[in-house]
Structure 1
Amino acid sequence: MHISYNPLWKLLIDRGMNKKDLRELSGISTSSIAKLGKGENITTDVLLKICTALNCQISDILETITDEDVENNEIKIHQEDSNG
C-alpha cells in the first residue's frame, strides 16, 4: 500500500489555492511541501497542520492506493510518454 496526496491537490484546486498558499496558511515548511509533491512520507504533525488550516478531515487530503494501482498508473504514464 502507498499513500497518495491527490485528494489534497484536488482540494487546493477546488479552493483556488496553490502550494505556496497552503504553506503560508498552514505554516509547514517548503521541504514538507516538496515531500508531499513527491508522494513521500511526512509526519502526522504536518498532516494535522494541513487539516487545521483547510478545516478538513485527513481523509480529505490523502488516500491509500494498492501497489497494483501504483504499478498500473506507472505503466499508463510510460505508455502516454511513448505515444506523445
Structure 2
Amino acid sequence: MAQQTSMMQLFEKLDDLKSVFIYGQKIIPVIHSLLDFMKDTVPLLENINKSIAESTNKIPKAKHHIHDVTNATELATTEILDIVDTIS
C-alpha cells in the first residue's frame, strides 16, 4: 500500500513537472519576442539619450545668443527712438 502511495505521489510530481515544461514551452516565445523588442528599442533609446544630452549642452550657448540678440534689439530700439526724437 505504501509503495502504491509513493508511486501515486511520483506520478503527481511527474504531472506537475510536465505542466512546468508545457508552461515553459508557451512562455519561451513570449520571452524571445520581448528580447527582440528590447534589442530593437535599446539603440533607439540610446540615440534619444544622446540627442537629449547634446541639446542640454547647447542650451547655455543658445541662452547667451538670445541675450546678445536682446541687447542688440534694445540698442537698435534706443537708436531709432533717438532718431525719431531728433526728427520731431
Of the two structures, which has the highest relative contact order with CA contacts closer than 8 Å and spacing of 6 or more? Answer: 1
TM over 0.5: no
Structure showing greater radius of gyration is: 2
TM-score, normalization by structure 2: 0.22
Structure with more helix by fraction: 2
Structure with more strand by fraction: 1
